[in-house]
Amino acid sequence: MSQPRTRVVIIGGGPGGYEAALVAAQLGADVTVIEESGLGGSCVLSDCVPSKTLIATASLMAAMEGTKDLGIRFDHDDAFAGGAADAPRIYARIRDLARAQSADVAARVAREGVRVINARGRLARPGVVAVGDTELTADTVLIATGAHPRELPGVVPDGERLLTNRQLYDLPELPSELIVVGSGVTGAEFASGFQALGSQVTLVSSREHVLPHEDADAAMVVEGVFRRRGMTVLSKSRAVSASRTADGVEVSLEDGRTVRGSHCLLTVGMVPSTEGIGLAESGVAVDERGFIMVDRVSRTFAPGVYAAGDCTGVWMLASVAAMQGRIAMWHSLGEAVQPLRLQHVAATIFTEPEIATVGVSQQDVDSGKVLARAVMLPLATNARAKMDGFSDGFVKLFVRRNSGIVLGGVIVAPRASELILGVSLAVEQQLTVDEIAHTFAVYPSLTGSITEAARQLMQPVDDGSR
């Protein structure tokens, strides 16, 4: 007699949910995904994919700015001057691409035999998920409901002038004077992108520098580029309110100043989508900010109920959400599983230039938490960077003091998101600087600076410590 199939019900079809569904289906489970918007989730439909699509156009525009220096003459000299972005076409492309990506995800899960219910789901009790009046029983439930943009108290985004990142792509035009409130990753990315597209951008930062939680050297490079390209960066300026004026917006700062512009984009954090879905009633604990509490194999406090992705607040990245979802399924379906390791997550901030990081941080080293040596090589002296016509950026490597094992790195460069893989591999495989130094890099190439950094770190310092 064959064993009955394990029933898995997943609430939320973003990377946390759909990647889990694929693993569970592969392992023979009977899988249902309940998704109220569209497969791919906010990641595909409103957040990650749309923003990176906008930034793809913006990067090309930024690259075009340097074409004169590379010896290219256009018949119409101002072909790439500000204002050349065709905003309706850019937004239409973004919406089309997001829909197409969502359809690809839907087709993939359908091929694997996953059932999808387009509705809102809630946990009725452990082992039972309610969709309207219907109750679905499950051996395993995964909650992957994501998060949504936080709003400033008293400011209601209207989708016309006062905007969250999810309302940008329905605008009829490019914001001429965009005020971005918040200088974290999302704020910095949009400020960079819209500036390259031709908006006059003011970035309102409550902190001394933009990207306060990132590598300080990297943040300084990016802030320097922002200012040089004409962005107004208001540091130590906390926005307390934003409102519409007759023809635009006005943002009030804590110190009494006001900033005026055509549009205001609020990027002041994300709130977990965990309210009204029956968590407390089912014994699923949330922290004081509403994030679901999970262990490293994605278990909540309720038996048989797992959670993955932004609703857990572990690290708001699509890759982390997907890994948490897969781990939940491997664990619940009895497979060997390695608990989530955040030390090796590669992440990128898609500004111009990009900042890519992996492994330990400068802060870990400076605070003495990790005993490491570091080297930082500016890309200004890299031959390929010169040929490509840029000078803002660097490669930084952290290696264990005596053994020389690579512990982490930071790359600031165009397409740093692609370049970081070599460092990620080194961290994951515990390669030493000697091994990197003996690896061939192409000449000329930006990755040549990674092997050069490793060469500079080759001699271990024998100071008696480990």
Ligand X SMILES: Cc1cc2nc3c(=O)[nH]c(=O)nc-3n(C[C@H](O)[C@H](O)[C@H](O)COP(=O)(O)OP(=O)(O)OC[C@H]3O[C@@H](n4cnc5c(N)ncnc54)[C@H](O)[C@@H]3O)c2cc1C
**Interaction site with ligand X (CB under 6 A):** 11-17, 34-37, 41-43, 47-48, 51-52, 120-122, 144-146, 165, 186, 273, 277, 309-310, 316-319, 321, 350
The minimum distance between CB 74 and ligand X, in angstroms, equals 32
Which secondary-structure segment (H or E) carries 288? none
Rounded least distance, CB 285 to ligand X, Å: 18
Q: Which is nearer to ligand X, 65 or 428 (CB)?
A: 428
Tokens of 345: 């997550």
CB of 368 to ligand X, least distance (A): 30
User: Minimum Å distance from CB 43 to ligand X?
Assistant: 3
Smallest distance from the beta carbon of 90 to ligand X, in angstroms?
16
Q: How far apart are CA 55 and CA 326, in angstroms?
A: 29
Q: Could you tell me if 240 and 256 are in contact, meaning their C-beta atoms sit under 8 angstroms apart? A: no
Please identify, using beta-carbon distances, which residue of 131 and 457 lies nearer to ligand X: 131
Residue nearest to ligand X (CB): 309
* Cβ contacts of 293 within 8 Å, gap of 6 or more: 285, 286, 287, 300, 301, 312
205-225 in b/e burial notation, b at 16+ Cβ within 10 A? Answer: bbeebbbeebbeebbebbbeb
**DSSP code, position 387:** H
Task: Rank residues 122 and 263 by Cβ distance to ligand X and give the closer one.
Answer: 122
Strand partners, 266: 181
Distance of CA 144 to the CA centre of its chain: 17
Counting beta carbons within 10 angstroms of the beta carbon of residue 345, is it exposed (0 to 12), middle (13 to 18) or buried (19 or more)? middle
The answer, yes or no, to whether the previous bond of 88 is cis (omega within 30 of 0) is no
Sheet holding 263-266, edge to edge: 162-163, 263-266, 177-181, 200-204, 232-234
Q: How many CB atoms lie within 10 A of CB 120?
A: 16
Nearer to ligand X, 131 or 427 (CB): 131
d(CA 414, CA 416): 6
Rounded to 5 degrees, φ, ψ at 94 are -60, -45
Specify the residue, 242 or 268, whose C-beta has the smaller distance to ligand X. Answer: 268
Please say which residue, 13 or 409, places its beta carbon nearer to ligand X.
13
| Cβ closest to ligand X, residue 309 vs residue 359 | 309
Residue whose CB is less far from ligand X, 307 or 436: 307
Cα separation, 210 vs 263, in Å, equals 20
Q: What is the residue type of 415?
A: R
Asked if 408 and 382 count as a contact pair (C-beta separation under 8 A), the reply is no
Q: What's the min distance (Å) between Cβ of 248 and ligand X?
A: 23
Residue 23: strand, helix, or coil:
helix
- Shortest reach from residue 185's CB to ligand X, in Å: 8
- Checking 451-454 for CB contacts under 8 A at 24+ apart, the result is 452/377, 452/395, 453/375, 453/376, 453/377, 453/395, 453/396, 453/397, 454/397, 454/406
* 3-state SS, residue 385: helix
Look up residue 218 and give its two tokens: 């990297």
**Smaller CB distance to ligand X: residue 45 or 259?**
45
Q: Which residues pair with residue 406 across a beta bridge?
A: 399
Contacts of 262 (CB under 8 A, 6+ apart): 161, 175, 176, 177, 178, 247, 248, 249
Nearer to ligand X, 182 or 448 (CB): 182
Nearer CB in complex with ligand X: 51/237: 51
Closest CA relative to residue 380, chosen from 369, 372, 368, 388: 388
Determine the residue type at 117.
I
Comparing CB distances to ligand X, the nearer of 280 and 383 is 280
